[in-house]
Every structure is written in C-alpha cells, then in structure tokens.
Structure 1
Amino acid sequence: MESKSVRIIEGGKLIIPAAFRRDLGMNVGDTVIVENVGGELRIRSRRSAIANAQRLMRQLVPEGTSVVDEFIAERRAEAERE
C-alpha cells in the first residue's frame, strides 16, 4: 500500500495526488464518498461505493430472484386491497 503526505489547505481542502486519482479513476469535478472509519479518513469514488453496495445486496438476494418483480407484485397487491 502506497502512502503520501499531503497538506490540508485553507477551507479544509486537501489535494489527492494525481497517481492516486488515476488509479482510482477519479477526475476533476467527480463526487467522492468520504468516511471517518475508526479515526481514519477514507475517500472513494461514488462508482466504487455503488459497486460495493451492489455486491452486498447480491449476497442478500437469492440467485434468480428479481427484487423489482417482487416490489411490483407487492404494489399491485396493495392497490387491489385499496
């Protein structure tokens, strides 16, 4: 794991080294996710955060199950009861 020393500048800004941004696929203007995890500042791309959430959801939903189809069926059943 590579590490670099960066300085916090006016307004609490810090510069993410270009090599890190390239490796992570981050570009100027991108939105990133910042977390305080056990006293460590973690920065990741939104794309990475979404991919992680999708991986977690796949673990919870059985193979061949369509969550969307289940949701639509629930809404239709609810509409019929009204």
Structure 2
Amino acid sequence: MPLYTIFVFSGIIETGNNNFCLACEELVNGLYANPYNCKTFYQCSNGVAYLFDCPDDLQWSSNNKRCDWPVNSDCGIIE
C-alpha cells in the first residue's frame, strides 16, 4: 500500500466550487497549502502542480512546511 497519492496537474488547479485556483506557472517552486482540504498540499515544480496527501491523521502545516499533528497545524479551511 503506498504512503502517498500523487496527482499531477499542468497549469491551473481549480476546485469544484471555482473559488480557488493554484497557477503554478506564476509561483516559485515550493510547497503550498490546499485551503479546502487540510489533509492535502501542493508542490509546484517548474510550472507543474503536484497534489499530495498527508499520511494517516496528519494535516498540512504551512508554518513548518510539512504534514504535522492537527494540534500543531495552522490549517484553516475556506468555506
């Protein structure tokens, strides 16, 4: 069983509600929070966005740039 699920997108990533998009062409390479799902995050690399799942019960922490325990996470979901 894999530890991570990786999805690869080229260009702009949009959620179903079209309120959020991540245009990796306009961002520096790095890790970015998914504001609609605390258990996932994006990695932008040379204009391509990769969506990663945090393992088990962890959540993305933008301050620490890693998946962390929810008590240490700064995650805030946009509704």
Query: Normalized against structure 1, the TM-score is what?
Result: 0.20
The structure with more helix, counted as a fraction of residues: 1
Higher relative contact order (CA 8 A, sep 6+): 2
Q: Give the greater-gyration-radius structure (CA).
A: 1
